[in-house]
Chains A and B, each alone.
Chain A
């Protein structure tokens, strides 16, 4: 049953996929049922039931949107699915809730102070839903033509012809528009709306005039009337923008100076204050609605003491988002101090957090995850090869085992086999060292490496202190 569903999903995705396959691209949600109980294997999630259940509760809290400025810590060993849970949460929240993902070390930049980077991240995680009048093009597609420019790097140009019952117009399109038209699979006979400002395309259905074009149409084909009157109309549409986007729009230098200032850099606090006032005004008048989102900070132990104390303060604001941090450290030094603390996070911040632990995966769960990754990376693997790979995962690490999937499938393809066999896995296992074997190797041959005068141990001791 699940495999059938997975196959269907696979089929649909293979057509529309533009993104590349990332480490967590197999995750499509938290894998919870309607009562927020975790299913064993669902939406790319395997095992980790307690943590997922906790994430489900947090999901509910975010959706209700009443509680501001809570912090959640995902703590666990490397490769136990902390980032996966955060990604799943983002997917489950849907595209309308802002979800900002950053790594702890991202805040260290020469162009921006640490607190500015954090403030921007926080403001990126708060959305405002606002009604605005906007130009909408609504019509039936007569023709879509995409031409590739001359030469290898020639820019694509496109022409779109739309009509209503009363008129017909040609439009020129840029690359971005062509991409989104292709992604939506817009074809002649579809009735679509295009938001002229944002370029968002919405397919309303197929025109009644085209109802007889095909004998067989999908169940989801909806037939609508061809629109009347003018193609372009002014309509009230609801936009979701983040506070940071509003900041940027208002902080741009006006006039021709805008040409020379590409990056936004730091945003003045006066502008932020003005915007906060404006937003408060809109909310009072019922023109806008605030959507608190999620700020996810991976590798949170990389933040230093200044950031932590800033977070303490920032979380108390009533416009703060839900902050989720993830760390794989145990009791360790807090960056910027000489004090040790659990997870490398000061106790006062830890006290404000709810901590969700993740535990190492069982043998069976590892096998399931590897299976999902095989599907994701489009790789056929025999059962015994998967067994070997699972053993590799238990003995070394899950990440290393996942690395072996595509490499093994490439080896299998070279000998013109469709399925990855045990031998292929063994071959790549011998070709590529895991972290443990590499360490062994180094210990054996340490003396033959560069800059080794035999006092390496003493140097290491220095770092430890």
Chain B
């Protein structure tokens, strides 16, 4: 009798260990099976190395274009931008997903005759090695005002305020691409200098994938002779 229990016990632990192993194996492989990772692999990649920044240009099969900028020392993604093309074919602007927005050389006032005032909240993204980060500037209200909730129906983080002055759905494309859920426990926030900072701890899957992908990126040979006519000394 005793032995039997022991056997079951043993079996249970065995199962547990096995499941853990299986999970680990699965989790290692899972991101490799996502459409996102495959499209990254299949994309046409070209690379420019500028001092400590490695810029990668991707051209996907469906004609979309993306640019990533990596810091070669810290291996952190500094910027990721997508080229937005109008359906009718006007030349596209760059839509920045992560990183500081690209300052526009010429302010085009032909289309948008209505824009948010300068003093209105602006969202920017900046990732660190372990966190996904959102900074919302121009938000003067104290920290108690904000309610930051993970929403898994839309796979986004919803920021709302008790004074009904601000409401924003923050998309988390990194998680969406890997098919991961947004976990409330991973969200942290702080508020200073009129800026609300929201941090989301990167899940293991994402960390693994980014590590793996950086290795992949390093394989892309940078173009050696760039005609840099804009350099002035």
Q: Specify the chain B residue showing the minimal Cβ separation from A168.
A: B165
- Give every chain A residue within 8 A of B114 (Cβ-Cβ): 137, 160, 171-174, 177, 194, 196, 199
Contact B117 A249 (CB under 8 A): no
CA distance A194 to B115 in the complex (A): 11
Cβ-based interface call for A130 (8 A): yes
- Against A, the Cβ 8 Å flags (1 = close, 0 = not) of B154-174 are 000000110011111100000
- A170: which of B89, B116, B169 is its contact (CB, 8 Å)? B116
CA distance A169 to B165 in the complex (A): 8
Chain A residues 202 to 234 lying within 8 A of chain B, measured CB to CB, are: 229-230
- Give every chain B residue within 8 A of A170 (Cβ-Cβ): 116-117, 119-120
Known: A196-B112, A199-B113, A199-B114. Contact between A250 and B89, CB under 8 A? yes
Cβ-based interface call for B226 (8 A): no
Known: A167-B166, A249-B90. Contact between A197 and B111, CB under 8 A? yes
- Against A, the Cβ 8 Å flags (1 = close, 0 = not) of B63-100 are 00000000000000000000000111111000000000
Contact B113 A197 (CB under 8 A): no
Q: Specify the chain B residue showing the minimal Cβ separation from A181.
A: B114
Chain A residues 141 to 173 lying within 8 A of chain B, measured CB to CB, are: 159-160, 163-173
Cβ-based interface call for B106 (8 A): yes
Interface of B is mostly: loop
Known: A172-B117, A249-B88, A249-B89. Contact between A197 and B167, CB under 8 A? no
CA distance A277 to B167 in the complex (A): 43
- B164: which of A160, A168, A196, A252 is its contact (CB, 8 Å)? A168
Q: Specify the chain B residue showing the minimal Cβ separation from A246.
A: B88
Contact A172 B169 (CB under 8 A): no
Q: Specify the chain B residue showing the minimal Cβ separation from A177.
A: B113
- A249: which of B86, B113, B116, B168 is its contact (CB, 8 Å)? B86
- Give every chain B residue within 8 A of A173 (Cβ-Cβ): 113-114
CA distance A137 to B86 in the complex (A): 19
Query: What is the minimal beta-carbon distance from A227 to any residue of chain B, in angstroms?
Result: 11
Chain B residues 157 to 201 lying within 8 A of chain A, measured CB to CB, are: 160-161, 164-169
CA distance A171 to B119 in the complex (A): 10
Contact B113 A229 (CB under 8 A): no
- Give every chain A residue within 8 A of B117 (Cβ-Cβ): 159, 169-172
CA distance A229 to B114 in the complex (A): 20
CA distance A409 to B113 in the complex (A): 41
Cβ-based interface call for B109 (8 A): yes
Chain A residues 231 to 278 lying within 8 A of chain B, measured CB to CB, are: 241, 245-246, 249-250, 252, 254, 256, 259, 275, 278
- Give every chain A residue within 8 A of B91 (Cβ-Cβ): 252, 254
- Give every chain A residue within 8 A of B116 (Cβ-Cβ): 169-172
CA distance A165 to B91 in the complex (A): 36
Contact B120 A169 (CB under 8 A): yes
Chain A residues in the interface with B (C-beta under 8 A)? 130, 132, 137, 159-160, 163-177, 194, 196-199, 229-230, 241, 245-246, 249-250, 252, 254, 256, 259, 275, 278
Provide 12 A-B residue pairs closer than 8 Å at the C-beta atoms, listed in order of the A residue. Answer: A132-B86, A132-B88, A164-B167, A167-B168, A168-B165, A172-B115, A174-B109, A199-B111, A250-B90, A256-B105, A256-B106, A275-B89
